[in-house]
Structure 1
Amino acid sequence: MIDLAAAAACVIALLGIGFRLHQVRGTRPAAGTLYLVAFALCMAVAMAALSPSASAAAHGRPPWALALGLAGGELKIAAQGFLALLALSVEPPRRGRKLMIRQAIGTLTVMAAGAAAFLLAHPTPATGGLYVDPPGRPTLTCYNALFTAHATWCLAVFLLLIGRAARQVEDRLLRTGLRLVLAGAAVGLVWAVLSIGPLLDALTTGHQLTREDRVSATASVLALTLGIGGATLTAWAGLPARPLRRLRAWYRYRRLAPLWAALRTAVPEIAFDAAGAAGGHRLSTDAEFALYRRVIEIRDGQLALRAHLRPEIAERAAAEATR
Structure 2
Amino acid sequence: MVEVLAYLGCLIAIVVVCYKVRLASSDRRTRGLRHIAGFAVCIAGALGLDAWMTVKIDGPMPAIAGLVSDELKLGALGFLVLFADSVRSAAVHGRWYRLVTAVTMAAAAALFFVAGAHESATDVVTFTPDGVGWFVAYNVVLIGYELWGLLTFATLIARFARLVEPGLLRTGLRLIIVGALIGVPWAGWQFDDIWIAVVRHQNTTSEDEVSAVLAALCVLVSASGATLTAWGPYLSGPAHWLGAQWRYVQLRPLWSAMHAAMPAIALSTVARQQGGVEFALYRHVIEIRDAQLALRGHIHPSVAVWAAEAADGTHPSRRAATIEAATIAAAVLAHDAGIAYPAGDLSPHRVDPSLAAETRWLAQVSRAFAHSRAVASVRTRMAAELSGATATSS
- TM-score past 0.5 threshold: yes
Give me the whole-angstrom Cα distance separating, in 2, the residues matched to 1:161 and 1:2. 32
What does residue 66 of structure 1 align with? 63
CA RMSD of aligned residues (A): 2.0
Matches within 5 A, 1:123-142: 123-125=117-119, 126-142=121-137
Q: Which amino acid aligns with 2:66?
A: G
Whether the 8 Å contact between 1:87 and 1:162 is mirrored in structure 2 is yes
Matches within 5 A, 1:79-118: 79-93=76-90, 96-97=91-92, 99-118=93-112
User: For the structure 1 residues 157 and 70, does the alpha-carbon distance in structure 2 shift closer, same or farther, using more than 3 Å as the test?
Assistant: same
Change in 2 beyond 3 A, CA 1:58/1:86: farther
Show structure 1 runs of 4+ deviating over 6 A: none
The total of aligned residue pairs comes to 237
Q: What whole-Å deviation, never above 9, does each CA across 1:34-54 have from its counterpart, x for those lacking one?
A: 111011001111111111x33
Distance 1:48 1:29, change over 3 A: farther
How far apart in 2 are the matches of 1:37 and 1:211? 24
Go from structure 1 to structure 2 and tell me whether the alpha carbon gap of 1:32 and 1:25 turns closer, same or farther (over 3 Å shift): closer
Q: CA deviation at 1:25?
A: 4.6
Gaps of 5+ in 2: 239-394
Contact 1:58 1:65 in 2 (8 A): no
Deviations 1:238-261 (A, max 9, x none): 135699xxxxxxxxxxxxxxxxxx
What amino acid does structure 2 have at the position aligned with 1:167? R
User: Shift in Å at residue 176 of structure 1?
Assistant: 1.3
User: Does the Cα contact within 8 Å between 1:129 and 1:207 map onto a contact in 2?
Assistant: yes
Change beyond 3 A, Cα 1:240–1:167:
closer
SS of aligned partner of 1:238: helix
Residue identity in the other structure for 1:172: G
Deviation at 1:162, TM superposition (A): 0.6
1:258: which partner in 2?
none
Which position in structure 1 is the counterpart of 2:6?
Answer: 6
How many angstroms does 1:169 deviate by? 1.3
1:283 alignment partner in structure 2: none
Q: Which residue of 2 aligns with 1:159?
A: 154
* Aligned: 1:148 with 2:147: no
CA contact (8 A) 2:143 2:187 kept: yes
Q: Answer 1 or 2: higher relative contact order, Cα 8 Å, separation at least 6.
A: 1
Counterparts of 1:141 and 1:206, CA distance in 2: 10
2:233 is paired with a residue whose SS is coil
CA distance in 1, matches of 2:205, 2:145: 18
SS of the aligned residue for 2:19 comes to helix
**Aligned counterparts of 2:89 and 2:23: Cα–Cα separation in 1:** 25
2:251 equivalent to 1:223: no
| Compared CA separation, residues 240 and 184, structure 1 to 2 (3 A) | closer
Pairing 1:10-49 to 2, within 5 Å after superposition: 10-28=10-28, 30-49=30-49
User: 1:58 deviation in Å?
Assistant: 7.3
Residue 6 of structure 1 contacts residue 48 of structure 1 at CA under 8 Å; is this kept in 2? yes
From the superposition, tell whether residues 56 and 218 of structure 1 become closer, same or farther in structure 2 (CA, over 3 Å): closer
State the shift of 1:197 in Å: 2.6
Aligned amino acid, residue 107 of structure 1: T
Aligned to 2:97, the other structure's residue is in SS state helix
Instruction: Give the counterpart of 1:210 among 205, 209, 223.
Output: 205
Q: Displacement, 1:76?
A: 0.7
Structure 2 CA distance for partners of 1:47 and 1:23, relative to 1, 3 Å: same
Identify the residue that residue 53 of structure 2 maps to in structure 1. 54
Aligned residue identity for 1:50: D
Could you say what secondary structure the match of 1:3 adopts? helix
Take 1:170 and 1:28, find their aligned partners in 2: how far apart are those partners? Answer: 22
Q: TM-score, normalised by structure 2?
A: 0.57
Q: For residues 171-197 of structure 1, give each alpha carbon's deviation from its aligned partner in whole angstroms, at most 9, with x where no partner exists.
A: 322221111111111110122223223
Partner of 1:279: none
Q: Is the 8 A contact 2:23 2:30 kept in 1?
A: no
Distance of 2:49 and 2:123 partners within structure 1: 12
* 1:197-228: CA deviation from partner (whole Å, max 9, x where unpaired): 32232223222111121111101111111111
- The one-letter amino acid of 1:109's match is V
Verify the 8 A CA contact 1:159 1:182 in the aligned structure 2.
Answer: yes
Unaligned stretches of 5+ in structure 1?
Answer: 244-323
SS of the residue aligned with 1:211? coil
Q: Return the letter of the residue paired with 1:144.
A: N
Kindly state the Cα deviation for residue 29 of structure 1 after the two structures are TM-superposed.
Answer: 5.8
